[in-house]
Amino acid sequence: MRCPHCGSMEDKVTDSRTLAAGDATRRRRECTSCGYRYTSYERIEEKPLMVIKADGRRQPFDRAKIERGVERSLEKRPVAALAVERLVNEIEDAAVMAAGESREIKARVIGEAVLDKLFELDRVAYIRFASVYRHFENLDEFVEEIKRLSKKRGKK
């Protein structure tokens, strides 16, 4: 693996851990040339999961895109990084299961799954994500979503 600091191809693994119920391996590495330490992740590569956008376009599933959106909605919120990792893993697992053999899933299904998970994790993050995902245009739409949130909270 190429060192992100000096570009050397020589490194040693200092620690390995299994993540996501055995679906990924996290490795701590140290460059033998400059001593820089970094982390790499290994996952099994399968037939790509395709996301069907609202306009009908298809694009490969991008885990990092979900992670960025979730992290942005959780900015300055008291939520551990491990909880974010777990949430993204659950969403990815649910997307794979929902896609089944076709390996295709609608973007709307993924968005709603993110909202459901954020609702359970952090209500402020839920509203932040919903405002972008549902394209809120004005204050009235925020108020309506908060009313729905209050009703939903009463049911759970």
For residues 15 and 45, which has the higher predicted lDDT (pLDDT)? 15
Instruction: Provide the pLDDT confidence category of residue 153 given band limits of 50, 70 and 90.
Output: low
Contact 1, 13 (CB under 8 A): no
- pLDDT tens-digit map of 35-58: 999 999 998 777 788 999 989 999
> To the nearest whole number, what is the mean pLDDT of the chain?
88
Helix, strand or coil for residue 74?
Answer: coil
| Portion of the chain with pLDDT greater than 90, in percent | 53
**Which regions of the chain does DSSP assign to beta strands (E)?**
11-19, 24-31, 37-43, 50-52, 58-60, 104-106
Q: What's the predicted TM-score (pTM) here?
A: 0.63
Contact 92, 51 (CB under 8 A): no
Mean pLDDT for the stretch of residues 136-140: 81
Residue 124 has pLDDT above 80, yes or no: yes
Residue 147 exposure: Cα atoms within 13 Å on the Cβ side: 6
Contact 83, 91 (CB under 8 A): no
